[in-house]
Structure 1
């Protein structure tokens, strides 16, 4: 069966399934190819007749095995500025809209990932779900205004803003309400939302930040240093995609903390200052925000390291790398020894807080101080995989309900399904304009602990999170 949507650019033909129609590979901007490679997204051209929207568009260039692409029936290329829309019906019902920005360190990922399939969430909540592809890696984040012009910076963010503008203008054709748009993002997608808010973007009405490493917005100096490593790309004319990907692999990101060489940078145009500074020094768009992290974000990454890596010295070196040379290493390590079983757990917990929990708390604390509705959470539902805990990406399986797509993240049994239903209910309450739990009201304010026995608690881990106040070098 098919479904039709009548947009300003022409008619789209999607696929109608059980309870929802899906429109895949919908272009929201002109292909960023040729002379448009280093330019902000441009409007898509109109088309005549009915355009097919039953297949996903190409994903942004990234390191991914060709066999994985082929298995999923996907292509990869620079013509990647497309989005996917799941809707109960392309009618005039004016449903709330959720626009989701994927994670992946702004170097990997795509909106057509099975984990992000929006059918279940759209049907259950009677909402419209949109996922977005945007430029990644060097093509989305190169800071080289001297090479390509001042509007060539933060192209991934510019793509995302363009997509949000397209949604405002066109989502009514898919049964959505352009006046009730929630933007959500996970990991680097949440970092992007914080950056958009810091830049004053007003193209959405509510925001959900999931597992965002919000300290990972780069200074001009850090972004310029990455560009300097890519200087060879300027030799011999415009490089090909394979050359760009090869150059990306050679970027030196140092020890810990992971530097995030492709995250947004403070370019003075799209972003004037670090989101953690903007949040506390001036008013951002006065919208409700739901934000949080998982309890054990970093464990899934440290799980790849051998146990013998985690010596006393390694843990101390990590603490110093995170907290700075002037920190009291003994105090930091001692604070994280409590409640942790192994040195691996201590090391992982420090990175979890430095990169994810503490900056998220600081961001929402500042937003709440201006009387904006804020709802803070920590996901404590554990992965069935030994050693992962409540790990990074587990929120995706629970929010979208696609547990079977990655059962190692949150499980796929009846208990996991009940947990997913509970998380979805709270997210949908927020998307619909409601309040899913008690508002966060500053340091020690209510934090919803989402797990087998969910409850909102006060004064949750205040002392540990205070260790990371003002520890982020990009502040300057």
Structure 2
């Protein structure tokens, strides 16, 4: 028995050597070892925002004596948690949630790049300890260990607790405004990183913020607020774009929200009453932020004149924002998990009729044909929801930022499909890329063991290399991996993110993005640096137009034309023409037709009118 005890004592002592205590400005924290990294989970960066601190700007935590054990995640912030595209939910969380987590390969003066991740969830759900696909998808061990970076994940207040705008809150605020509490949480977390991360091996001059979905919205918005100046030196927006809502409109919604609990008394009395309610009661009426393929931002950041002084596009065009190297991108089938499981052709027609003005509907039907069966219809339905909400907005952000700073911009388009048929049918859905950025697909239910393929491994190695090198240098390009071209307003070049990335292409779904820009009236950004957006030099036109049947084709600047496709206004392809110089529609009925000219990597769109 004695030798066993001695061996046990030796093993315990050796394990204890890896448990490290680190000083922070508020007290010491004790982490644990996990493989070749140290991890510190659940470090408070703010006082618990409870009681009178509910709906107040976050405050530094009280200093503590002794050593704080940081070996488990903090509770998630209060939320009604839905799965993507589902109506089932759980009520969970605790208001004492403003904590962060750190993974680091080295402690002390290692001066490693720092990657700070902001989770998504529509500003009303999600957490740094999010479980998806059977694994904690943002768990930072593999990213830190394999990428030789310090990884930080943070929590922030959600839903009404993080974004409520109301007159009763304005009265107690020195700036006379309310809302944006979650953004202030994120700023305080970044301030904590600036003051403390060097003790965890991090370099405060190489801090990268990155986030996906609502977290990506926050990253984009943090570019535009002076309160975040100097807190980061690189940024990455995944499947999102910066969005700030109108203050007055949001306040009206806030008034209605508060009145649903108490409709009498002064504004301040109403807020006092809501502060007495448990957090669960404030979030129980939430609805799924992603449902039916549509993304809802029920609790947005607001233009309050303090955190945000103007809308993002105006801030970018002013040139007065936090200019840093930027990576941004989206996925090819963002809404495949949340779109209806069965889509009929009539549903595509209805969606186009409901979202696209009549003048642009022929083009929409050509680009997103309803098809003749559920498979074809669902492909177009997902395409509409993806391109209108993600593909085009990513292009707008990349173009607007590149026009207004000298710091480089890189765009990606994530198109990876699993080699397994069940997963391949889902395509590159919303959030899928995060498993590969964090190198955690190998830990998921559908990616572990023999299910983890060489293609999965190739993709995760590529994304790890690009993301961590961007954190280290401000440039994702690294020896041994395909070159990633910079994105300019005039070119829209990008890296296609797949098992073997491809950086040879320019123009992500250009015809589709042009359509959605036309639908909303977006005509591009103005440069504060005197840069001029270069007009598209390649185009397709037809003459005579209108014609009685024969149209000559002018393929200005287009090389490598592979095929011409002609569609009627119902989205039905009525002709696939060779790459000649005429289109013959003599036998077709009068009307408007859409022509799509296809090269290897671009699609050019034109409209013709047939009148016999």
Pairwise same-fold verdict (TM > 0.5): yes
SS in 1 for 2:411: strand
1:380-427 per-position Cα deviation (integer Å, ceiling 9, x unaligned): 111442531011111110000001444558963332122111111111
Hey, what does 1:460 align to over in structure 2?
508
The answer to whether 1:206 aligns with 2:206 is: no
Aligned-partner Cα distance in 2 for 1:132–1:207: 16
Comparing 41-50 with 141-150, greater Cα deviation is found at 141-150
Change (3 A) 1:151 1:79: farther
Aligned-partner Cα distance in 1 for 2:195–2:150: 14
Alignment of 1:57-76 (within 5 A): 57-64=74-81, 76=93
Aligned-partner Cα distance in 2 for 1:127–1:26: 19
Hey, what does 1:439 align to over in structure 2?
486
Aligned-partner Cα distance in 1 for 2:167–2:32: 42
Could you tell me whether the CA contact under 8 Å between 1:219 and 1:474 is conserved in 2?
Answer: no
Q: 2:388 aligns with which of 343, 354, 359?
A: 354
Hey, what does 1:220 align to over in structure 2?
247
Aligned-partner Cα distance in 2 for 1:20–1:232: 49
Could you tell me whether the CA contact under 8 Å between 1:444 and 1:460 is conserved in 2?
Answer: no
Change (3 A) 1:255 1:281: farther
Deviation at 1:283, TM superposition (A): 3.5
Deviation at 1:225, TM superposition (A): 4.6
Alignment of 1:268-347 (within 5 A): 268-302=305-339, 305-307=340-342, 309-312=343-346, 314-323=347-356, 325=357, 328-337=360-369, 342-347=376-381
Comparing 134-143 with 437-446, greater Cα deviation is found at 437-446
The answer to whether 1:374 aligns with 2:401 is: no
Change (3 A) 1:117 1:472: farther
Aligned-partner Cα distance in 2 for 1:108–1:56: 16
Q: 1:22 aligns with which of 39, 48, 52?
A: 39
Could you tell me whether the CA contact under 8 Å between 2:243 and 2:312 is conserved in 1?
Answer: no
Specify every segment of 5 or more residues in structure 2 that has no aligned partner in the other structure, as ranges. 1-15, 83-90, 131-135, 264-269, 478-483, 524-612
Hey, what does 1:69 align to over in structure 2?
none
1:227-272 per-position Cα deviation (integer Å, ceiling 9, x unaligned): 24412234571232121012334x9999874331023222232222
Instruction: Tell which structure's C-alpha radius of gyration is larger.
Output: 2
Alignment of 1:227-242 (within 5 A): 227-230=254-257, 231-234=259-262, 237-238=273-274, 239-242=277-280
The answer to whether 1:417 aligns with 2:457 is: yes
Could you tell me whether the CA contact under 8 Å between 1:12 and 1:53 is conserved in 2?
Answer: yes
Alignment of 1:386-401 (within 5 A): 386-401=424-439
Deviation at 1:182, TM superposition (A): 0.2
Hey, what does 2:559 align to over in structure 1?
none
Q: 2:469 aligns with which of 408, 423, 429?
A: 429
The answer to whether 1:158 aligns with 2:190 is: no
Q: Larger % of helix: which?
A: 1
Change (3 A) 1:151 1:377: same
Hey, what does 2:441 align to over in structure 1?
403
Deviation at 1:13, TM superposition (A): 0.2
Q: Which has the higher contact order (CA 8 A, sep 6+)?
A: 1
CA RMSD of aligned residues (A): 2.8
Could you tell me whether the CA contact under 8 Å between 1:382 and 1:391 is conserved in 2?
Answer: no
Counting matched residue pairs gives 460
Q: 2:26 aligns with which of 1, 6, 9?
A: 9
Hey, what does 1:174 align to over in structure 2?
200
Deviation at 1:277, TM superposition (A): 3.5
Comparing 167-176 with 435-444, greater Cα deviation is found at 435-444
1:261-316 per-position Cα deviation (integer Å, ceiling 9, x unaligned): 023222232222332343234342121001101111111111xx241x4332x323
Aligned-partner Cα distance in 2 for 1:215–1:351: 18
SS in 1 for 2:109: coil
Could you tell me whether the CA contact under 8 Å between 1:145 and 1:153 is conserved in 2?
Answer: no
Aligned-partner Cα distance in 2 for 1:229–1:405: 44
With normalisation by structure 2, the TM-score equals 0.70
With normalisation by structure 1, the TM-score equals 0.89
Comparing 269-278 with 11-20, greater Cα deviation is found at 269-278
